[in-house]
Homo-oligomer: A and B are copies of this chain.
Amino acid sequence: MTYSIGEVAKKFNLSVPTLRYYDREGLMPFVERTTNGTRVFQESDIELLKIIQCLKSSGMAIKDIKIFIEWCSDGDSTLQQRFDLFMKQKAVVEKQMEELNKTLQLIEHKCHYYQVALEAGTEDIHKNKKK
């Protein structure tokens, strides 16, 4: 099973120019071409794209993902680097979740704050409470 760039775009909910941009940036060096230059995506390219998407949503920059892709091309000699990268990225995401939790708590507090203010018809209800 192979896919055209348009099919891949739909699958990943990305635009076709975005995929070509990723290719240009070196994120997809494995994608084959037909004789007239049309990209042909294999199942394995789809799998790699999933990982690229994953690293992207963990906040990794494209130029850093590119380095990982290069490590993939380099074979077993880079296993340690790739392991380290994912361990580092695991810590990064865990940190992000902590931060997001704090953010959520403040937002929930504000929801409650405005709920009470709405019921009272005025924000002053909070000022009075504090004093």
Which A residues are within 8 Å of any B CB, using their own CB? 50-51, 54, 57-58, 75-76, 79-80, 82-83, 86-87, 89-90, 93-94, 96-97, 99-101, 103-104, 106-108, 110-111, 114-115, 117-118, 121-123
Contact = CB atoms under 8 A, between A and B. Distances in A.
A82 to B, nearest CB: 5
- This protein's copies in its complex: 2
Contacts of A87: 111
Contacts of A80: 118
Contacts of A76: 117, 121-123
Contacts of A83: 111, 114-115, 117-118
B94 A97 contact: no
A107 B82 contact: no
Contacts of A54: 103, 106-107, 110
B110 A51 contact: yes
B93 A58 contact: no
Contacts of A99: 57
Contacts of A118: 79-80, 83
A51 B87 CA distance: 32
A54 B80 CA distance: 37
Nearest to A92: B107
